Amino acid sequence: MRKILLLLIASSMMVPAGTFAQRKKSFSPKKASASSSSSRESTLRNQLSNALRQAQGGQYEAAANALFSLSRRPELADERAQIKYILGTMLIELKLYQTAAFQFVDVIRMKNPKYSKLAIEKLSIVADTLGDDTILNYAISRVDLNDFPSNLKDMIHFRLGEISLRNRDFTKASDLFSRVGSGSSYYYQALFNKGLAEMEGSQPAVAVGTFNKMLDARRRAPVTDTNKVAAQLGLARALYQKQDWEGSIEAYAQVPRDTVLWHDAVFEQSWAMLRAARFRSALSNFQTLHSAYYEDFYMPESLLLRSIVYLYICKYDEMEKVLSLFEKTYGPVRSKIGDFLKSTSDAASFYAEVEKANSMKISEKGSGLRLPYIVSRNVLDQGDVKRSMNYLEKLNQEKRRVEANSAFRASPLGQYALKIIANRGRNTKFAIGDMVKAHLLNMRVELRDLYEQAGFIRYEMITGRKESIKKKIAGKDLGAEQIDENIDRQFYIQNGYEYYPFKGEYWLDEVGNYHYLGKQSCE
């Protein structure tokens, strides 16, 4: 890549001289004016030659400043596409990607037969680095995909696949992800996304094969390898969608504890256990999910799932406690979300709320927030918000690079870069604010539905209690015998369980290994 750039600059150094020479021959016949113009052109030619020489010599900052100044000269209108293209490559070398993107967009708009295509290729690289779909879409819309150089096609296929997946065109997304070569740095992410597209397209059996292929390719990676763990969770979800409950439970169990995906795996495994009628195993999971360690997690569905499990095993007293906990926890959450939505209208305020939560230290979580901390945290974990926050952080990094160099910051190019970054940052914050509002509206609807479900579950609880009382009156009451009470604890230890009769406490290191002891009922 560096060789190509040097060749391009070297060839560029020859172009201005010829252009100026041709222009000099057709210039005004007035002697004084011609002399002045010739002197000015000679100066510009020297400046341009020096800038290109600096670029070739690796003096990117000096070259970029000179090229930026020359790109604004009307006398160099014919060379502007060439100057801006090389300026953009200098800015990439300085890691000022957002500022570079604007140069390439300008070149593309000029429709220069030589530099427009080169600018599109560079713009696609910059957009990939920034994670900016808007720029990438612009670049791709300007050229035939087959015209991209082979070394960029994996990246283009991957990014186009992401866009198709977000647009819910799952067949196209799967096809695009499958075109990413195994030697590409995008390969594993593409394979994972292909599995997601297959699941979204109601092809769980195909997705199982895709995730197994990914797991096989990463079999020698460490246990906590990100791609390996993601593939494991994807496999578990595909098996669940395929209604292979036991296979799914086993796959979820393979997600290692020391990863951020473990909590999701435990919750989803509980659903699989419910579907497989493994109620006591599901209850063991809830000791983990509802421990104090995870009190900052937004998971109303988990409490309702727990109450449903209690309903299945006719533990009405426990069910009552869980439903009360659901109402006590999420009643205020629902009210605060509603109040926030009613009192807030501008996108900047929505962004400010989650930005405050994002920068908050653990010791001060929740203080000064208008929304409950668990709500802000949940919104920040949403894919679109997380992606935009990452983009915003890249803009901030670029701003810090400019500000760290006082001479560059004071230069016209430095001021221009700060203006671009400020505008992009402001627009991105507005966009994030709109995303936050949309997620809060969804959460409010979700909580309304969950409250409705809680009402149905409570109705079932009351009905179950009535039936239980009827049995007692009829003399069909069940004894107080505990499930498994005749089995020695060694049975559980030998089968991989730690054995703790629950007394309202837990050991953090042991959460997830707790084996529930319940009383028989309902049969």
Q: What's the token pair of residue 170?
A: 């799952």
pLDDT of amino acid 292: 77
Would you say residue 343 has pLDDT above 80? yes
Task: With cut-offs at 50, 70 and 90, classify the pLDDT of residue 132.
Answer: confident
Would you say residue 63 has pLDDT above 90? yes
Would you say residue 511 has pLDDT above 60? no
Q: Please state the length of the chain.
A: 523
Calculate the average pLDDT of the chain. Answer: 84
Q: What's the token pair of residue 6?
A: 């040097």
Task: With cut-offs at 50, 70 and 90, classify the pLDDT of residue 504.
Answer: very low
Would you say residue 476 has pLDDT above 70? no
Name the percent of the chain lying above pLDDT 90. 55
Most confident of 4-13, 84-93, 279-288: 84-93
Are 433 and 356 in contact, with CB atoms under 8 Å apart?
no
pLDDT of amino acid 18: 40
Q: What's the token pair of residue 35?
A: 């002399």
Per-residue pLDDT tens for 17-42? Answer: 344 334 444 444 555 566 666 777 77
pTM of the model: 0.77
b/e 492-504 (16+ beta carbons within 10 angstroms → b): eeeeeeeebeeee
Q: How far apart are CA 318 and CA 255, in angstroms?
A: 29
> Taken in order 80, 84, 86, 87, is the CA torsion positive or negative?
positive
| Residue 380 CA: distances (Å) to CA of 74, 289, 364, 366, 375 | 47, 20, 17, 14, 9
Cβ neighbours around 178 below 10 Å, total: 14
Per-residue pLDDT tens for 196-234? Answer: 999 999 999 999 999 999 999 999 999 999 999 999 999
Task: With cut-offs at 50, 70 and 90, classify the pLDDT of residue 521.
Answer: low
pLDDT of amino acid 37: 66
Task: With cut-offs at 50, 70 and 90, classify the pLDDT of residue 362.
Answer: low
Per-residue pLDDT tens for 248-270? Answer: 999 999 999 889 899 999 999 99
Q: How far apart are CA 139 and CA 388, in angstroms?
A: 19
Would you say residue 13 has pLDDT above 90? no
Mean pLDDT check: name the lowest of 135-139, 145-149, 297-301: 145-149
Per-residue pLDDT tens for 175-201? Answer: 999 999 999 989 999 999 999 999 999
Q: How far apart are CA 190 and CA 174, in angstroms?
A: 9
Task: With cut-offs at 50, 70 and 90, classify the pLDDT of residue 491.
Answer: low
More confident of the two residues 479 and 361? 361
Per-residue pLDDT tens for 311-321? Answer: 888 888 889 99
pLDDT of amino acid 486: 54
CA 120 distance to own-chain centroid: 25
pLDDT of amino acid 25: 43
Q: How far apart are CA 331 and CA 505, in angstroms?
A: 25
